[in-house]
Structure 1
Amino acid sequence: MPTFKTYMRILLAHRIYIIIYLVIISITGIAIGLSMASGSSQHFTATSSRVAIIDHDDSKLSRALSAHVAKDNTLVPLAGDKKSVQDALAQDAVSYLLVIPKGWGHDLMVAAGDKDTTPALEASVSYRSGEGFLVDQEVKSYVQGLYGSASLGGSQGDVVRTTDESWDKSIGVSTIGQRATPLPSSLLSAALFSSYPIFASVTVCIALLMKALNARALHGRRVASPQSPRERNVALVAACVCLALIAWAWNFGLQVTLLGRDAIARSPEQLGIVGLALLAYSLVSASVGFLVGQLGVSENAANAVANIFGMMLSALGGAWADLSLLPDALVAVAHFTPFYWAYRAIEGASAMRVVSTSSVLPLVGCVGVCTLFGIAILLVGIALGRARTRQLG
């Protein structure tokens, strides 16, 4: 126990790195998540297009068509002269202009009876927007409805009534609900971003701890002490794990408290997988710090390794940009990095639609792969430490 406390005091002596890497950078990730949360409250609203209708026919069919076009759009009054039409299109006063020629209704009834083509309409679409094109497609669909109803016979009034009844009929649809509530995108962004502060803070602090312990003078006093090597090693591992747990608890605790409080009740399984993935990556970071410390690097070198490798692993893992945006060669390399597997677990938990054994086990397997990276790195560090001990001895 006294040895463990000594190791923790050495770690706290480098508190400036804890403040910079762990506290400040972690808060940056939370700020990113909060900004996404504030921007995710947008709601869809249908766009009302600006349309103008010039009806030279004034038949029941043309009036029905005019009413249908004006129903869900903003009707712009427009004179029927050529100059007004040209000015409206040139100045983008309307997105869609419909001109119904004289005799159009009668010609459509005749064409439907003779199985001929529908009479043409004069339509103009604004060059600045795609809204007019969508209105034009709806106009053509409604005209085809009039044509189909007219082919059955009856007066223009009957054709309009039949077409409107058919148009207003809706097909019953239902939405398949998700049994699992998705995690907030803000929480996902903060969790992915936290890979960098976790790695940087844990790696640099443990590396500096190992540097202090491996100094020749301190190493000699440790070896000469009555404490067994096993007890010293257990205390060292406990100190490294403790720092990794502190970094994990700080980051994940902030994320849950500020961004995922609702997910505790709604999505506990997914939230647990995210926390497990970050915990595994924290332990990997501790293993990397242990290895770097065994190499006996300087303080500046430890900072360089923590920053460069921290950013590189986060980038390859998908924390900075979606992996689909990366070249195939980099994606292939990413498979051999620990955070790639943690990323797969976090993303899979966020997108999980149904909580079941078949959906959870693959994500737990990804966390396991990430943990294996940490074990392998730790074994390399232990082997290197034994070699250094024999040299110093």
Structure 2
Amino acid sequence: MNTCKTALRVIWAHKFYLLLYLVGMSLIMIVIGSTNMQAAVRANTSSSVGRFEPAQAKIVVINRDCDNQAGCAMGQGLKQYLGKSAQLVTVKDEPQALQDANVSGKSDLTVIIPAGYGNRFLDALDDTAAQAHSGGKTPSFPKVETAASYNSSRGSLAQLQVDSYFDALRTALLTGLGQKGSMELHSSAAVKDAAAYAVAHYAGNQPHVGIHASPKTDNHGALLKGFATTVGLAAFPLMTALTVCVATLFGAFSSPDRHRRLLASPERSSSLNGQELMAALILAGISWTYYVALVAFSMAASGVSLASLGWGRVLLSFFAMLVFAVSAASFGFMLAQFNPSSSLINSVGVTFGLVVMFTSGSSSGGPLPPVMQTIGKLTPGWWYNTAVQSIMDSSAAGLASWGLPLTVVALFALAYACVGLMVSRLTRTRATLVAPVSSDPSMIG
């Protein structure tokens, strides 16, 4: 096991790559995945069933007819009527103060009952009653002064309520509804009773609004999709980190001098190669375990229980990630057999990792363009993301939906390993086991 320990020490000597590519990049991917999960959690906890709450308008009521008993009763009834659905605001009865309140948004509607309005309203009632008996034209009733704010539409809607109050007041006076005493139209008691009747029947004077509750939408599928996206985003950090670290590991053992020393050792070459491979698989397992723990922590931080997603789906997704990690390690092994430099290993690892991420579909919110799909199918990332999405898709048709793409990921790992072994055999058969003979004459004899 000395070779395996040495290989692990080589990896530890290059731990900066793990910190940069695995830890650093994985944190970025987890943040992106957590954003999608939190959006899915909010959608899942929200409900379309709610209580309808109309917006409250801020209304200023100025009654300049308080000297008249009828006008005072009308003004008090109007305040009570509007107070059921609006917020009454007190403002001084001065032109400047009223204008400031209207412009600044302190009030959405200003209602002014002018002096003498009560008497004109009652006179119009007398004319209406007289015309009703003679069959003549119904006279128009006087209007109060209103000014709606241009900052909000609530004032215009509240103006309709002002009109509905005076319509209800007129109807109650003409028909005698709610009258407890005198039926004379000009009596202040009749006006007061009519105003109380209009306030008591406020709901009946409003337009009918029907509220139909729709059942809460089942957004469990959004949680499954968010989890699949989080797991799929592991393609970039795993591919980049394992490619660079495994290529660096095998590159350290593939130099001609070290290779000659290994072949001259009493250990069989198959044992040496197996220990090197074991170190690479240990690295892949550690990287996979780290990312699984990170995903589990991310789900817990988002308030999502893995059990609620279904342990079968979750474990299959993690298994797909493990197969992808092995594929990434195989790519690093293949890359090392070409004896690249350290800078070339990093360049290839980062570039290929970015290609895998952007063509896998895990980083995009929708379907990829056909060209990117074609490129993606030439890498294990697209098949890995397809397998994870199919596993978490509740409508997927069983084993065939995710088993085929996961098998392709495993075949990529096998293909990378075979290419690496072939290149290794071609390069190592040309290596000599002996060092060059010195031509120094003093070494003769």
Question: 1:134-191 CA distances to partner (integer Å, 9 max, x unpaired)?
Answer: x579769999x99xx9xxxx98959854455944x64354325466792696x77764
Distance 2:282 2:414 in 1: 16
Larger mean CA deviation between 301-310 and 45-54 belongs to: 45-54
Aligned to 2:342, which of 295, 299, 320? Answer: 299
Cα drift, residue 291 of structure 1 = 1.8
Match of residue 223 from structure 2? 182
Aligned to 2:351, which of 296, 308, 328? Answer: 308
Distance 1:63 1:360 in 2: 70
Q: Which amino acid counterpart does residue 281 of structure 1 have in structure 2?
A: F
Summarize the Cα distance change of 1:23–1:322 in structure 2 as closer, same or farther, 3 Å threshold: closer
Tell whether the 8 Å contact from 1:78 to 1:84 is kept in structure 2 after alignment.
Answer: yes
Match of residue 212 from structure 1? 252
Cα drift, residue 289 of structure 1 = 0.6
Tell whether the 8 Å contact from 2:330 to 2:414 is kept in structure 1 after alignment.
Answer: yes
Q: Which amino acid counterpart does residue 87 of structure 1 have in structure 2?
A: D
TM-score, normalised on structure 2? Answer: 0.60
Distance 1:122 1:273 in 2: 66
Aligned to 2:82, which of 56, 66, 88? Answer: 66
Tell whether the 8 Å contact from 2:110 to 2:148 is kept in structure 1 after alignment.
Answer: yes
Tell whether the 8 Å contact from 1:32 to 1:189 is kept in structure 2 after alignment.
Answer: no
Distance 2:367 2:395 in 1: 30
Distance 2:250 2:89 in 1: 76
Question: CA RMSD for the aligned pairs?
Answer: 5.4
Alignment of 1:87 onto 2:100: yes
TM-score, normalised on structure 1? Answer: 0.66
Q: How much identity, in percent, do the aligned residues show? A: 21
Query: Runs of 5+ in structure 1 lacking a partner?
Result: 127-131
Distance 1:54 1:30 in 2: 57
Larger Rg: 2
Match of residue 272 from structure 1? 315
Distance 1:194 1:63 in 2: 64
Match of residue 129 from structure 1? none
Tell whether the 8 Å contact from 2:299 to 2:306 is kept in structure 1 after alignment.
Answer: no
Summarize the Cα distance change of 1:287–1:75 in structure 2 as closer, same or farther, 3 Å threshold: farther
Distance 2:369 2:75 in 1: 61
Distance 1:91 1:329 in 2: 56
Distance 2:104 2:232 in 1: 48
Match of residue 376 from structure 1? 415
Number of residue pairs matched by the alignment:
365
Cα drift, residue 298 of structure 1 = 0.9
Q: Which amino acid counterpart does residue 12 of structure 2 have in structure 1?
A: L
Tell whether the 8 Å contact from 1:55 to 1:62 is kept in structure 2 after alignment.
Answer: no
Match of residue 8 from structure 1? 8
Query: 1:147-158, aligned counterparts within 5 Å?
Result: none
Q: Residue 52 of structure 1 aligns to a residue in which SS?
A: strand
Summarize the Cα distance change of 1:322–1:67 in structure 2 as closer, same or farther, 3 Å threshold: farther
Summarize the Cα distance change of 1:356–1:269 in structure 2 as closer, same or farther, 3 Å threshold: farther
Alignment of 1:22 onto 2:29: no
Tell whether the 8 Å contact from 1:97 to 1:125 is kept in structure 2 after alignment.
Answer: no
Distance 2:80 2:395 in 1: 54
Query: Runs of 5+ in structure 2 lacking a partner?
Result: 64-70, 129-137, 169-174, 178-196, 433-445
Q: Which amino acid counterpart does residue 381 of structure 1 have in structure 2?
A: G
